[in-house]
Each structure stands twice: as C-alpha cells, then as structure tokens.
Structure 1
Amino acid sequence: MNRLTDIQHFKSEFFKALAHPMRIRILEVLSEGDRNVNELQNILGSEGSAVSQQLAVLRNKNVVSTIKDGTSVIYSLRDPLIKDLLAVAKQIFDNHLVDAISLLEGIRNEQ
C-alpha cells in the first residue's frame, strides 16, 4: 500500500470504530475524564456486557487505551483530538438541524 492508501484505510477503520451510538457516548464520557467499566456502566445506564463489548471494539481499533489500577481497568481516550472530532460532529449536526428548521419554516410560511 502507498501512503495515501494507508491514510484512507486508517480513516475508514477509525470511522468504523465510531459507527455505534454507544461507542460515541463512551467517547463523549471519556472526553470528560478517564473512567473504569463500573463508572461507564453507571453513567451510560447500561449493563456491563454491552459496555464491555463496545469498549473492546474501541480498544481493538486503538481509539481508547487502558491502564491497570489494582483490580480495575481505567479507560481513556488514546488521542485527545477525539474530543475535538466529537465537537465538530456536533457542530455539523447543529448546522443540519438549522437547515432543516429553516426549510420547515419556509414550507409553513408558504401554507
């Protein structure tokens, strides 16, 4: 593979790792600080197996990193820029929402 193909492959795999609502939520929580599985379960209001399964995907794709703290495993964002990426995604969503609201208001005003 050449360098351009390597970068495209990395991006593809990275975005696949983000392609689940719970994984996005986990990353949002981790962007506020490191957490163990129990803390994530409580914050997400989800059972352990679901959270652990999604954390495994994020870990395997090198999106989160772990450190052992006694009997607990602490999860953190591997790259702090992920927090910025999530903020940009929210801005894009907000822009789409504003466009949709404007469109609906225009339709309503025509009626």
Structure 2
Amino acid sequence: MSRPLYQLKAEFFKTLGHPARIRVLELLSEREHCVAEMLPEVGIEPAHLSQQLAVLRRAGLVVTRREGSTVYYALTSPHVAELLYVARQILSGVLSGQAELLRDLHADPT
C-alpha cells in the first residue's frame, strides 16, 4: 500500500530540516561544487558534510559527477533552488510582519 502524499511531503521537509543541508542546497543552487569547496562555506567537519550529502543523495535532491579523484555535487532539479527562493520570500514576509508588530508595540505607551 502506498503512503499518502502528505506523508511523503512531510518526509521531504524533514530531509530539509537541517541547517547544513539547507546551506549545501543553497550553494548548489549557484553551481556544482566539490566537497572541498563546500567545507568552508558550510562550516562543519568533513565527515559530517559527507553524511549530510549522503542524506541529500538518498532523498534524490543531489547527484554526483566524478572528474578524476574529485566528486562534484549538483542539484537534481532547478525546482530545489526555486523552493529555497520561495522559502526565503515566505520568511521575509513573516519577519516583516513581526517587525511591524514590534514597532506597534513600542509605539503604544499603554
């Protein structure tokens, strides 16, 4: 029996639920990268980055390409970059709304 779509979506978003994975996907939204290029940008240990990349590979969000001894990672779909962009827009709206509320609270002397 297949799982409901909402459950698959929840699992998909759980995969995105780690800051290092989000940062990796942001980097790969720009262009493909090898691990050595990502390490200083992500700021975690090499073994931990490898684990996070493996999670993203298993989820089908990234693919690899080997050039000599170097492995390059890339997004499987430009939709991943679009999703990150939309998430940024949503967060901007939410934070903007919170900033307005905070201004209103400071303006009200009661």
State the TM-score, normalizing by the size of structure 2.
0.91
Alpha carbons 1:59, 1:65 under 8 Å: kept: yes
Moved segments of 4+, more than 3 Å:
none
Aligned-pair CA distance for 1:62: 0.8
Partner of 2:86: 88
Partner of 2:58: 60
How many percent of aligned residue pairs carry the same amino acid?
41
Unaligned 5+ segments in structure 1 are none
CA RMSD of aligned residues (A): 1.5
C-alpha separation between the residues in 2 aligned to 1:68 and 1:57?
19
Partner of 2:6: 8
- Matched position secondary structure for 1:73: strand
C-alpha separation between the residues in 2 aligned to 1:61 and 1:12?
13
C-alpha separation between the residues in 2 aligned to 1:71 and 1:44?
22
In the alignment of these two chains, the number of paired residues is 109
Aligned-pair CA distance for 1:18: 0.4
C-alpha separation between the residues in 2 aligned to 1:49 and 1:75?
16
Aligned-pair CA distance for 1:14: 1.5
State the TM-score, normalizing by the size of structure 1.
0.90
Query: Deviations along 1:36-89, whole A, 9 cap, x unmatched?
Result: 111111222332112111111101111111111111111000111111100000
1:41 correspondence with 2:34: no
C-alpha separation between the residues in 1 aligned to 2:28 and 2:54?
15
- Matched position secondary structure for 1:68: strand
Partner of 1:100: 98
C-alpha separation between the residues in 2 aligned to 1:65 and 1:11?
20
Alpha carbons 1:13, 1:61 under 8 Å: kept: no
Unaligned 5+ segments in structure 2 are none
Which amino acid in the other structure matches residue 84 of structure 1? E
- Matched position secondary structure for 1:102: helix
